[in-house]
Amino acid sequence: MIALKALKGAGWLVFSRFSGRAIDFIMLPILARVLSPADFGLAALAMSLVLIIDTILEVPVTQALVRLEKVDPEHLDTGFTLGAIRSGVVALVVLIVIWPFSVLNGEPRLVPLILFIVTGSIAKGFVSPAMVHFARKLGFLQTFMMELGGKICAFLAAMILLYVGATYWAIAANYVAAAIAATLISYILAPYRPRFSLRRLNDFAAFVGWYSAAQLVSALNWQFDRLLIGMGADKASLGRYAIASDLATMPTQSLIGPALQSVMAAFSLIRNDRERLKQAFLKAARFAMLISVPACVGISLTSDLATALLLGPKWDDAAPLVSILALAVLPIPYFQTLYSVCLATDRPFLIVRVNVIDLCLRLVLLTAGFYAFSIVGVSVARALLALTMSGTYLYFASRVVGVSIGEQLRNLWKIGAAAVAMAVCVTFLRRELAGLDLSALYELALVAPAGALIYCTTLFALGLRVILGRSRLEFFDRY
């Protein structure tokens, strides 16, 4: 029953993120054809600073409340107060670092742009804490409504600014409008009268402490490459890399990331039952990789078609980067599953350890890659890092849920085999179609369904089945 409720909740979250990405798919080609790579590079550099500060100072109000056995009004008041304090600290830190950051990058336009972008991060701290009641019941329809409403407002704001010739400000407006609109909508969906109180701080303190440490390292992990490129290369190169990275990470951001929000809540409900938690982790990990692996491999194999179709000819140089970076995000859904089970079982300190290992390797590999081969070197270094970190995720998963590395690999090998079969098919088909001089749209329309068919057929031939009933969701191996 929990699995089915988690599936329904995940469905709303995935649909929400998918709808948001559909809006992005409409907006991105418009922005890419009007703005230059340098405009995207400037916006990416400004966003990097804001997102680092925003992520480091994030207060996990929802995650902390979901894990509690009971949530009373004082918990909501404490959550709101922590969010408000967090927004004030974000504003203060930005004011302190904004000028040195602009001088370091030799770009005075960063100052007003960052001041504008940070208003979105400040608004996020005031989201209605009463939204947690829906998450605790594994009901995420309201989250879908909040996120989609914010995305629609963001699209309108970006298009208005683009129409009046605001260039890179349109990119910034997309982030700011989405955050402000989502915050306002949250109070319509989950009414709450703000009160300042820290009476329940003890229920947040330990969790927030380890979570904040994990976020500190995570923020450096996710934005280090853009800061490195921004300080050592021109804005156009950063713009091409940023767009390539965004395209490559779309499968995990649109599908797996939001789906695992409901999985974390489901893990919390069974965290005291070791065997059920183990089986739930294996199912969740298999589901995450079942969807993300073919998406990442498919994007890697058709990156030139995707960039030509979405971005236009002036972004052709981004296609090889997309191909490499799509493979670099392959293990991320597994980490997201591990992340969810660590939070559900009150072990965020393990996330800190994983992120520290990631950061140490990232500092060495990405820096060496950049100074050897510029942005292509960074992309290749990220792929090597992903391969190395895959083993780390398997090891820590074995510690958290007590499932051996061998058992985890047996849980996934059929997905890997199906992905290889799909890759061979797509490569062969594209080679045969090369002489027909088809447009990017027509070739993608032929290749994508063929690859999906081979992937699903291979899984079926290997005996992977899905049981979906009124109160049951399960993957099983027929043989």
Residue 63 CA to residue 146 CA, distance in Å, equals 18
Yes or no: say if 447 and 426 are a contact pair by the CB < 8 Å rule: yes
Reduced to 3 states, what is the DSSP secondary structure of residue 477? strand
* Helix boundaries (H) for 105-168: 110-124, 132-136, 141-163
Residue 313 CA to residue 307 CA, distance in Å, equals 8
Residue 299 CA to residue 251 CA, distance in Å, equals 9
CA distance to 2, 215, 308, 422, 423, per residue, from 427 (Å): 41, 39, 18, 9, 6
- Strands, DSSP E only, in 236-318? none
The model's pLDDT over 35-51, given as tens digits with 9 standing for 90+, comes to 888 899 999 999 989 98
Residue 298 one-letter amino acid: G
Residue 30 CA to residue 312 CA, distance in Å, equals 10
Yes or no: say if 38 and 235 are a contact pair by the CB < 8 Å rule: yes
Reduced to 3 states, what is the DSSP secondary structure of residue 24? helix
Longest Cα–Cα distance in the chain: 70
With a CB cutoff of 8 Å and minimum separation 6, the contacts of 179 are 119, 120, 121, 123, 124, 150
Classify residue 167 by burial, with Cβ atoms within 10 Å: 0-12, 13-18, 19+.
middle
pTM (2 d.p.): 0.78
Residue 159 one-letter amino acid: M
Tens digit of each residue's pLDDT, the chain (479 residues): 444 454 454 555 555 566 666 787 788 788 888 888 889 999 999 998 998 888 888 776 777 776 666 777 888 888 899 889 989 999 999 999 999 999 988 889 999 999 999 999 999 889 898 887 776 665 567 777 888 888 899 999 999 998 888 788 999 999 999 999 999 999 998 898 888 888 888 777 656 666 666 677 877 788 889 889 988 888 889 999 988 998 888 766 666 655 555 666 677 677 778 888 888 889 888 988 988 899 999 999 999 998 888 887 888 888 999 999 999 999 988 998 898 888 778 787 888 899 899 999 999 999 999 999 999 999 999 999 999 999 999 999 999 888 999 999 999 999 999 999 999 999 999 999 988 888 888 999 999 999 999 999 999 999 887 766 554 556 667 76
Residue 233 CA to residue 290 CA, distance in Å, equals 37
How many C-beta atoms lie closer than 10 Å to residue 324's C-beta? 19
Yes or no: say if 119 and 235 are a contact pair by the CB < 8 Å rule: no
Instruction: Report DSSP letters for 170-186, one per residue.
Output: HHHHHHHHHHHHHHHHH
Yes or no: say if 238 and 378 are a contact pair by the CB < 8 Å rule: no
CA distance to 78, 149, 182, 199, 206, per residue, from 85 (Å): 11, 26, 19, 15, 17
Yes or no: say if 79 and 204 are a contact pair by the CB < 8 Å rule: yes
Sequence spans of domains, the chain? 11-200, 205-474
Give pLDDT, residue 304: 92
With a CB cutoff of 8 Å and minimum separation 6, the contacts of 5 are 138, 266
How many C-beta atoms lie closer than 10 Å to residue 166's C-beta? 14
H or E, element range at 88: helix 73-104
Reduced to 3 states, what is the DSSP secondary structure of residue 242? helix
What are 379's two structure tokens?
């992309």
Calculate Rg over the CA atoms of the chain. Answer: 22
Reduced to 3 states, what is the DSSP secondary structure of residue 35? coil
> What percent helix, strand, coil does the chain show, rounded to 5?
85, 5, 15
The model's pLDDT over 154-211, given as tens digits with 9 standing for 90+, comes to 999 999 998 888 788 999 999 999 999 999 999 998 898 888 888 888 777 656 666 6
Residue 371 CA to residue 229 CA, distance in Å, equals 10
Give pLDDT, residue 1: 46
Report DSSP state, residue 255: I
Residue 452 CA to residue 399 CA, distance in Å, equals 34
Is the Cα dihedral 289, 292, 293, 294 positive or negative?
positive
Buried-state track 107-124, b at ≥16 Cβ within 10 A, e below 16: beebeebbebbbbbbbbb
